[in-house]
Structure 1
Amino acid sequence: MTSRITLISPAMNRSLRETRFDDDGPLDPSGAARAESVAGSLRPAGRVLVSPTARCRETASALGLTAVPEPGLAGLDMGRWRGLTLDEVMAREPDATMSWLTDPDAAPHGGESVRALCERAARWLETAAEFEGRTLAVVEQEIVRALAVTILGAPGPAFWRLDVPPLTATDLSGRAGRWNLRLGREPGTTAL
């Protein structure tokens, strides 16, 4: 059985624009308008899931989706750095920041390491493969990156080399142990 999953990254908000670790802020009016402009253009799915963050929930709503929150698709837990910009963290804790950016096992912020996120995303993908039909999920960019690293079998530091623009679709098709990946298409364009 082949599973098909489309991951939609959230529309633009202040945290994304400022490179701020998620502070659970709302979408910008321009981000909401952009999502509303593609509402109704996504292929129907047998199930629709959403990361529990405000920007993902609001993106799903603006896209006209009725989505079920999926805790396994939560963004990276940034611990005490939550709400701060990368520049602020770098100024306050330069060594810790560099450790975090270079070592996938590091979690100097007291939250989750990149490796732990990738492992959590991989576990979710294993269970997602059991669903027959198409899954659509509005998820944080780091979930898309974690799944891409997992599918490609890339080393942990590759996580930082993947850019996931706001409001783009990433398609996964396959089954447990063998997945294909299509990154960064505009929502509403042809899916797998």
Structure 2
Amino acid sequence: MDITNPLRLAVIVASNREGRFGPVVADWFAGSTAERDDFTTQVVDLADVDLPTALSHSPSPAVRAELAKVSPVLADADAFVVLTPEYNHSFPAALKSLIDWHFSEWQAKPVGFVSYGGISGGLRAVEQLRQVFAEMHAVTVRDTVSFHMAHGRFDEDGTPKDPTGPDTAAKTMLDQLGWWARALKDAKSTRPYAG
């Protein structure tokens, strides 16, 4: 762990639905990253961003204003964690829109996943996101954090009822993410990525 030069981690809260459960999981995960000295964390909450799904080579002023909320954070990040629910065996449209409006911001950077949902815990969304991020030239880490039947896994105060499994999974995922982020950052400092 290099605490003298912490990595910049962007945590993307992918759900923008009213009444979403994402903030509960995001608050818990923020506690996991706060305990680490090797990351500084910035949250990108897609409920605060309104990107259209139709892409354009010359975005309107309104779209440029929305991009200005997130593009600099993504560009500056050394690594990402995508915190996603599973909607209809996939991931939210707002997340796909965010991914599609960017390209170089993702290149040669690692992505970790925290997912939640019903019986699958959001893992089907994660598997689809691995394919999407591969197309963006990003590297996804193997281990994830997932909450199956998520609403029943947290107390009313937003803490996991049994924190052992999630805490261990978060540490493993963040350790892998940190390793990849340092390896890729060091590689890019000696030669540009050939994307």
Same fold (TM over 0.5): no
Provide the TM-score with structure 2 as the length reference: 0.36
Provide the TM-score with structure 1 as the length reference: 0.37
Higher relative contact order (CA 8 A, sep 6+): 1
